[in-house]
Amino acid sequence: MDRITLAAHAKINLSLRILGKREDEFHELETLMTRIDLHDDVEMMHGAGRGICFTCNDPDLPMGPDNLCVKAANSFRDAAGLDHGVAITLMKRIPHGAGLGGGSSDAAAVLLGLNELFDYPLVSEELHQIAATLGSDVPFFLGNGLSWCRGRGELLEAAGPLPDRGILLIKPPFPVPTAWAYQRYAAMKVAARGISQDDAQWLEKIMLVNDLEAPVFEKFILLAVMKNWLRRQPEVESALMSGSGSTMVAIIAPSVSPDRVSDLRERIIADFGPTFWICESRFLNT
């Protein structure tokens, strides 16, 4: 095999609870994550020499050793005992700083793709160990479907299929740094708290909740305004922030037609301005 291209899917957090601070300074998490059909494309091929050549259509991403795809490739080659050259081309569609896991998904795609390209020198447990060193979300993207992620996010438990729903992703023209969001949560000393029956949102038996909304909404008031606005729209079954933000997720009610979703998009632009990134997507169950 000379080259391989994999789709690196985005994720959303349907539930994100912070259970406390760990001795390693990370937070103890319990989060329910699902992939969605929005994805980047990652192409990997044998390269000249012994280096890693990385190119991307997004000039805002680092292209050198700080890039997560490059880190994944270096970690893979070290673990597999390889010094072959690798060329990686990333076609970005998932915005960064959005809470959609784009960088983590790209890194997982590199691990899976290089393992196939070099005829599977590593078993899945070894890939999982590498993924856990790259980032808390990376192990999730080695699998498929809906999963509970615990610990730092590296302990996975498969969950049942989701109901079929369309979603609308709405990202304002600013990112939210993940590290800042967790630091702000710790500084606020926000305890995991109950949700009143009036405020609770459900996707069948799944309670939709995100503990990072409180610290993020305190600084980025626009996101709190948008969530309340979305919940009042007749097309929206529920709305919440994904991960550390800044993307807001509107889960579309099952009976809503494509024309009404288009109307909703137009109202978002009319009320919040044309600088918002808006994308229609769906849950992936496989």
CATH number of the domain where residue 172 is located: 3.30.70.890
Q: What is the structure's pLDDT at 285?
A: 77
Query: What CATH number is attached to the domain comprising 92?
Result: 3.30.230.10
State how far the Cα of 26 lies from the Cα of 128, in Å rounded to an integer.
18
pLDDT at position 62: 86
- pLDDT tens-digit profile of 207-256? 999 999 999 999 999 999 999 999 999 999 999 999 999 999 999 999 99
End-to-end alpha carbon distance in the chain: 25
* DSSP annotation of 283: B
pLDDT band at residue 198 under the 50/70/90 scheme: low
Q: Where are the alpha helices (DSSP H) in the chain?
A: 68-80, 102-117, 124-134, 178-188, 213-219, 221-231, 258-272
Q: What is the pLDDT of residues 69-97, one digit of tens each?
A: 999 999 999 999 998 999 999 999 999 88
Residue 271: pLDDT band (50, 70, 90) is very high
- Check residue 192 and give its pLDDT: 47
Residue with the bigger pLDDT between 185 and 109: it is 109
Q: For position 145, what pLDDT does the model report?
A: 80
Percent of the chain with pLDDT over 90: 76
Last residue of a domain, one of 109, 137, 158: 158
| Candidate list 11, 71, 92, 171, residue with the active-site label | 11
Q: How far apart are CA 111 and CA 83, in angstroms?
A: 15
Distance of CA 236 to the CA centre of its chain: 21
Active site residue 11: yes
Both 121 and 200 in one domain: the answer is no
Q: Could you report the per-residue pLDDT of 3-61, keeping only the tens digit for each?
A: 999 999 999 999 999 987 766 656 688 999 999 999 999 999 998 888 999 999 999 88
Whether residues 210 and 150 share a domain: the answer is no
Tell me if residue 2 is catalytic.
no
pLDDT of residue 19: 81
Tell whether 150 and 178 lie within a shared domain.
no
DSSP annotation of 143 reads: S
Q: Is the pLDDT confidence value at 191 over 60?
A: no
Select which of 40, 106, 137, 211 is catalytic. 137
Residue 243 is part of which domain span?
Answer: 166-282
Q: Are residues 209 and 258 in the same domain?
A: yes
Partner residues linked to 17 by β-bridges: 30
Least confident segment among 87-91, 177-181, 264-268:
177-181
When divided into structural domains, the chain yields a total of 2
Does one domain contain both 171 and 58?
Answer: no
- Per the prediction, the chain carries an average pLDDT of 92
